[in-house]
């Protein structure tokens, strides 16, 4: 009897142990699988005036990551996106970046829309030797930051190049001879003041005037009146959605309608709603438009966006397109860099960026997009001039 009882106990003990071990192995498996993902960080504005921009970057990254993961991931591991809201504030961006670096251990960090936030994060990335990819913020010093080695790369416009393109466009399209600058009062505005002044100086010209305005300024009429009095025949506008809308509304109140050649700030949100009917008069730069004939990659990305996001019914719903396109190409190039590196070690990934060869992307076909002397993959040949028609960003002259 005692033997039977002992056998029973041993049987259940063994069964329990087997179940426990199996459960443990299962849990370990899950945890191991989770550890196997390569984390890609994103610090951008997910709330406030630039929330749409943050959502566009998120969507571009998500589509690229889905595509990469469907093909087996990178280095045999799946990619995982980890996002944090910087609320367009440098201090919050720095806190978020540190959390993603030290707690989440991201392999690469993507930045957002705001140049001041990216400029605050860049020194940390170079210090920690983790690559930083800029899919939007265009401030020249973000990539040209003087660090050696430099861990900052960008698939986006660059102020210095955009400024040359703005001057060229104002002369070619509006025959402008005396443009004035109306710039947001932050490091992004300063970066553009330098770039536009240099672009004008290269052609032996000077601005009609340089005026700054704050993001919370209700009325920009005094600044614009100064530019008008100085004889400005066009305006170079640099500011995000809300501030740019304030400039347009102030111009309406003045009854002054100079051509407005803008950086791409207005693309980041409800510009038409905020600026009113005159929003369409602002011509601004973009790196991509989903309107018109698309490349096979463009068709593939648009199809994926429509499948993943119910609110995307067509090209007009991919807004702002620049955030989606830059982030998509940025993620694809980053995946290639990690593949080239053969590990998620920061310095090796950095070297991996330099070994990227030819890649047929969404914005263009890249050929050796990054070299030690050039960390910007997009240049002036890749820009598209656009305007808002209703709520959609269309290439200038294209009807809705």
* Interface of this chain with other proteins, residues 276 to 315, rule: CB under 8 A: 276
Site stretch for other proteins (CB under 8 A), options 118-126, 137-145, 266-274, 325-333? 266-274
Q: Which residue, 33 or 254, is less far from other proteins as judged by CB?
A: 254
Q: Which residue, 278 or 374, is less far from other proteins as judged by CB?
A: 278
- For residue 6, whether the previous peptide bond is cis, meaning omega lies within 30 degrees of 0, is no
Q: Is residue 246 at the binding interface for other proteins, with CB under 8 A as the rule?
A: yes
- Nearest CA to 75 out of 348, 324, 325, 326 is that of 348
* Interface of this chain with other proteins, residues 99 to 158, rule: CB under 8 A: none
Q: Which residue, 32 or 47, is less far from other proteins as judged by CB?
A: 47
Q: Is residue 257 at the binding interface for other proteins, with CB under 8 A as the rule?
A: no
Whole-number Å distance between alpha carbons of 227 and 233: 9
Q: Is residue 91 at the binding interface for other proteins, with CB under 8 A as the rule?
A: no
Figure out which of the listed residues 125, 176, 221, 235 binds other proteins, where binding follows CB under 8 A: 221
Whole-number Å distance between alpha carbons of 183 and 189: 5
- Supply the minimum distance, in Å, between the C-beta of residue 242 and other proteins: 6
Q: Which residue, 87 or 160, is less far from other proteins as judged by CB?
A: 87
- Interface mask (CB under 8 A) for other proteins, residues 179-218, using x and -? ------x-------------------------xxx--x-x
Q: Is residue 253 at the binding interface for other proteins, with CB under 8 A as the rule?
A: yes
Figure out which of the listed residues 119, 275, 305, 394 binds other proteins, where binding follows CB under 8 A: 275
Site stretch for other proteins (CB under 8 A), options 142-150, 196-204, 246-254, 316-324? 246-254
Q: Which residue, 145 or 223, is less far from other proteins as judged by CB?
A: 223
Q: Which residue, 38 or 241, is less far from other proteins as judged by CB?
A: 241
∠ CA 101-120-162, nearest 5°, is 115
What is the total residue count of the chain?
Answer: 400
Site stretch for other proteins (CB under 8 A), options 6-14, 104-112, 242-250, 381-389? 242-250
CB contact at 8 A, 145 and 121: no
* Interface of this chain with other proteins, residues 336 to 395, rule: CB under 8 A: none
- Nearest CA to 106 out of 34, 161, 42 is that of 42
Q: Is residue 51 at the binding interface for other proteins, with CB under 8 A as the rule?
A: yes
Residue 150 region by backbone torsions, left for phi larger than 0, else alpha for psi between -120 and 50, else beta: beta
CB contact at 8 A, 379 and 161: yes
- Supply the minimum distance, in Å, between the C-beta of residue 393 and other proteins: 16
Whole-number Å distance between alpha carbons of 100 and 108: 10
- Supply the minimum distance, in Å, between the C-beta of residue 166 and other proteins: 20
- Supply the minimum distance, in Å, between the C-beta of residue 254 and other proteins: 5
- Nearest CA to 383 out of 374, 367, 396, 368 is that of 396
Q: Is residue 96 at the binding interface for other proteins, with CB under 8 A as the rule?
A: no
CB contact at 8 A, 128 and 68: no
Whole-number Å distance between alpha carbons of 333 and 391: 31
- Supply the minimum distance, in Å, between the C-beta of residue 186 and other proteins: 13
CA distances from 112 to 92, 101, 154, 359, 370 (A): 13, 16, 11, 23, 20
CB contact at 8 A, 319 and 393: yes
Q: Is residue 93 at the binding interface for other proteins, with CB under 8 A as the rule?
A: no
Figure out which of the listed residues 171, 225, 294, 295 binds other proteins, where binding follows CB under 8 A: 225
Residue 27 main-chain phi, psi, to 5 deg: -65, -40
The string over 331-341, giving b where at least 16 C-beta atoms fall within 10 Å of a residue's C-beta and e elsewhere, is: bbbbbbbbbbb
Counts for the chain of helices (H) and strands (E), in that order: 13, 14
- Supply the minimum distance, in Å, between the C-beta of residue 240 and other proteins: 11
- Supply the minimum distance, in Å, between the C-beta of residue 278 and other proteins: 11
Q: Which residue, 126 or 392, is less far from other proteins as judged by CB?
A: 392
CA distances from 307 to 177, 194, 200, 302, 359 (A): 47, 43, 46, 9, 24
Site stretch for other proteins (CB under 8 A), options 101-109, 273-281, 286-294, 374-382? 273-281
> Which residues lie near other proteins (CB under 8 A)?
46-49, 51-52, 185, 211-213, 216, 218-219, 221-223, 225-226, 229, 241-242, 245-246, 249, 252-256, 269-270, 273-276
């Amino acid at each position: 009897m005692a033997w039977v009882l002992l056998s029973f106990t041993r049987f259940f003990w063994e069964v329990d142990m087997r179940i426990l071990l199996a459960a443990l192995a299962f849990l370990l498996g899950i945890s191991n699988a989770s550890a196997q993902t390569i984390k890609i960080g994103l610090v951008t504005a997910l709330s406030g005036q630039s929330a749409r921009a943050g959502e566009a970057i998120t969507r571009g990254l998500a589509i690229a990551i889905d595509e990469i993961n469907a093909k087996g991931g990178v280095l045999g591991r799946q990619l995982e996106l980890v996002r944090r809201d910087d609320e367009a504030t440098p201090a919050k961006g720095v806190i978020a970046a540190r959390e993603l670096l030290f707690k989440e251990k991201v392999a690469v960090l993507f930045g957002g829309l705001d140049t001041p936030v990216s400029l605050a994060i860049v020194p940390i990335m170079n210090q920690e030797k983790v690559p930083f990819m800029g899919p939007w913020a265009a401030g020249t010093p973000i990539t040209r930051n003087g660090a050696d080695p430099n861990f900052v790369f960008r698939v986006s416009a660059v102020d210095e190049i955009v400024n040359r393109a703005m001057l060229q466009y104002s002369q070619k399209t509006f025959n402008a001879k005396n443009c004035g600058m109306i710039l947001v009062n932050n490091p992004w505005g300063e970066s553009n003041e330098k770039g536009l002044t240099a672009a004008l100086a290269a052609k032996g010209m000077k601005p009609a005037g340089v005026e700054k305005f704050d993001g919370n300024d209700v009325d920009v009429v005094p600044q614009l009146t100064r530019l008008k009095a100085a004889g400005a025949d066009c305006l170079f506008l640099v500011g995000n959605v809300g501030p740019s809308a304030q400039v347009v509304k102030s111009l309406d109140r003045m009854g002054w309608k100079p051509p407005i050649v803008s950086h791409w700030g207005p693309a980041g949100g409800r510009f038409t709603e905020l600026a009113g009917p005159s929003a369409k008069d602002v011509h601004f730069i973009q790196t991509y438009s989903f309107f018109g004939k698309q490349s096979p990659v463009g068709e593939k990305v648009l199809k994926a966006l429509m499948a993943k996001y119910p609110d995307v019914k067509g090209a007009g719903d991919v807004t702002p397109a620049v955030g989606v396109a830059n982030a998509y190409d940025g993620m694809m190039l980053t995946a290639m860099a990690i593949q080239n590196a053969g590990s998620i070690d920061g310095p090796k990934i950095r070297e991996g960026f330099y070994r990227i060869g030819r890649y047929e992307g969404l914005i263009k076909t890249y050929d050796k997009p990054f070299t030690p002397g050039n960390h910007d993959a997009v240049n002036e040949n890749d820009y598209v001039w656009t305007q808002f028609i209703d709520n959609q960003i269309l290439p200038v002259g294209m009807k809705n």
